Amino acid sequence: MIIARVEARVQPARTGDPKRVGPYRIIGRLGSGGMGTVHAGLDPAGLRVAVKVIHPAQAEDPEFRARFRREVQLSTRVQGPCLIPLLAADPDAENPWLATAYAPGLTLDQHLATHGALTGGTLYAFATGTAQALAAIHAAGVVHRDVKPQNVILTPAGPRVLDFGIAHAADGTSVTRTGVMTGTPGWISPEQYRTGTAGPEGDMFAWGALVAYAATGRLPFGTGAPDVVAYRVMSEEPDLDGLPDELYEPLAKALAKSPAERIFADAAAEECARLLTGQATQVLSADAGPEPTRISDCLTTEWSLPSVEDPAWHFPASPIRKRALITAVATVTVGAAITGGIVTFYSSGDRADVDLASERTATSAPSSGKPSPLSASASTASGAPAETTTASAVDLRTIRIPTDPLAGVPNPAYTRAADETQPLADEWRSSTTASTPEERDAETAIRDRMTSMLATKDMDFMKPTITFNQRAQTVMVTGGPVPQLTENYQDVFRRAGEMAACSTLAHRLKSDPNTWPYGRFSIHWKTSDSDLDASALGYGEATDGCFTEIAGQWQGDESGMATAEIPSSDKAEIRIAYATIKAIVATWNADTTTTNEDALTVNDGINLGFDPVENAAYVWTDDPNSRFASRASQSNLKGAVEEVLCRKLTGEFKSNKTWNYTRWAVAVFDPYTGTRQFIGSGTCTP
């Protein structure tokens, strides 16, 4: 699922944006994501509205339309305090849309980052309002399933719970596809992590974490890798230090590990309302004012946040309508997420023979007085020397990594080529930070390349440290410490470090063979800040080439497949994956008259993803229906995948200058070995 963050201010409309959607005039954007765009609009009376319009690619999918229609139905069912009522919708339009009213305000996480934790009556009003909202949702037979700070906006009138895009009806009808983990790490209940169960009790667990976060400004289960946070949620107690004593009991009930022990939403709303009423009574007694008679009055009285105005909403209006536009009052706001429900796609691949370093790497590196190895003196994709020119004039994606950078060099500075001795622990301990302009250039290139790879997997929290040991002629890439980090995350760090170091050193050896002394690299992982014996994860030489081929052909492998099973967070990758799977299924089904195969369905488990380390797209299936057991079926699948993938990859490569993927591989499950077996792989020609 793609999450589109709705910002506090209206952004300018873009080329191609609609002028009108239904009865609403569009004046700008509020946010966008892989499933669609949220537009800022005005109704005929001048009321500010937020209109969510689904992208054409998703609108063409009948299954998606059915889920969107269900989203509208669920949203219509839910009415209550501190919620966002649906104003209008057309799920059957060419581009389906829905509209809610708009009110200015920051999301909870934005407010905490800017103004700090909520206190006093505002905190009690927040706890009461959000609990009331969940009580109304649950009373309608709906489970929210994505309660988190980004989905609560602090309007001048009180908190508003947003986004029913991944809501789940109590009768089992889901907006999203079944079998897909929904929600956000840190805001997922223990039972959902363990079994995938997402009931009202899970919403209350997230509510407890939400109110604790609002009160303390700290995430109750800390930060870090998703697996680390998941472990804390399932096994450790939340951090509630600094929480007001009165709120401790309802939040402790909400955050119980067992769903059966958790407080219900209506009970939490009543308990927090009692605390809120007591707070209001204390304040009013001091001022000798009248005591509020309703909870809504108390919430309004105690809520203390300033109005937020956005001048972008003001625009020239005709004299007849000007008064209505000026006096229109916004009462509610749009949900902060663009919904969809497509399966999460994964990434994997193998080492690329093309250096796909970003332009940012080539242009942001500190000047060393010499041409960057990525922008000059390198080999082009054809193997011919590239002209010495500026980075902006060269498509860096077409520059090959030299496979033998010291070929023909009589007296290279790097003398340990073919030395199979791996770096020793004392060589790592005696390595130092970059001390020359050339070393700083290499350090920047390696770090930036690794960060760009890891970011597509939400792993850029693993910050690499780059050090140099000139005597050992080795560059050391060190990660950690990250407590409870799983081995698959460390393996992605290793692969990213190997590729980034190997490609950077190979280019440097090619451009400066007589002065650049580093040709070896090793990847290490620290378990603590004081670790003096960091374990070695990997080792290699840039003179051996940075990728492997069999008979001149790139091949998919198990390490790439392991990376494939870690979710991608890159919007372009998910967009291409979604479109490509549809096209693969369509191509297969169109060929069934000649292949005599049965048509594919969503139950046949076709998956696609991308490996940012080796810039390859992988397609795989665990073949739950034994569709691809025969050689003929595997050959037909391979043909469909190659035809569609190369068309999609090369098309995106030509139109999107940040798109790096040109390789592909396909694997199916072999019941005899119990593992996936590769049935094809190759390289597409852009």
What is the set of active-site residues?
A: 146
CA distance linking residue 412 with residue 506, whole number of Å: 13
Asked whether the CA dihedral 131, 135, 137, 142 is positive or negative, the reply is positive
Neighbours of 202 (CB within 10 A): 25
Query: Rounded to 5 degrees, what are φ and ψ at 510?
Result: -70, -40
Distances in whole angstroms, Cα of residue 312 to Cα of each of 9, 12, 41, 110: 7, 9, 12, 20
Q: Which of 540, 602, 536, 130 is nearest to 343 (CA)?
A: 602
The residues that bridge with 14 in the sheet, in sequence order, are none
Sequence-distant (≥ 6) Cβ neighbours of residue 353 within 8 angstroms: 400, 401, 403, 546, 547, 549, 554
HSE value, Cβ hemisphere, 13 Å, CA-based, for 566: 28
- What lies within 8 Å, CB to CB, of 509 at 6+ separation is 402, 405, 406, 412, 414, 516, 519, 542, 543
Q: Note whether 165 and 175 are within 8 A (CB).
A: yes
Contact 130, 82 (CB under 8 A): yes
DSSP tag of 105? -
State how far the Cα of 353 lies from the Cα of 350, in Å rounded to an integer.
10
* DSSP structure string for 309-351: --GGG-----HHHHHHHHH--------S-----PPPPB-----
Q: Which residue type sits at 199?
A: G
Give the pairing type, strands 36-42 and 24-32.
Answer: antiparallel
Q: What is the dihedral of CA 161, 164, 166, 170, to 10 degrees?
A: 100
Contact (CB, 8 A) for 10 and 40: yes
Q: Considering Cα of 440, then 446, then 450, then 452, what sign does the dihedral take?
A: positive
Closest CA to 226 of 305, 344, 143: 344
DSSP H or E stretch at residue 169: strand 168-169
Euclidean distance between CA atoms 49 and 40, whole angstroms: 6
DSSP state of 106: E
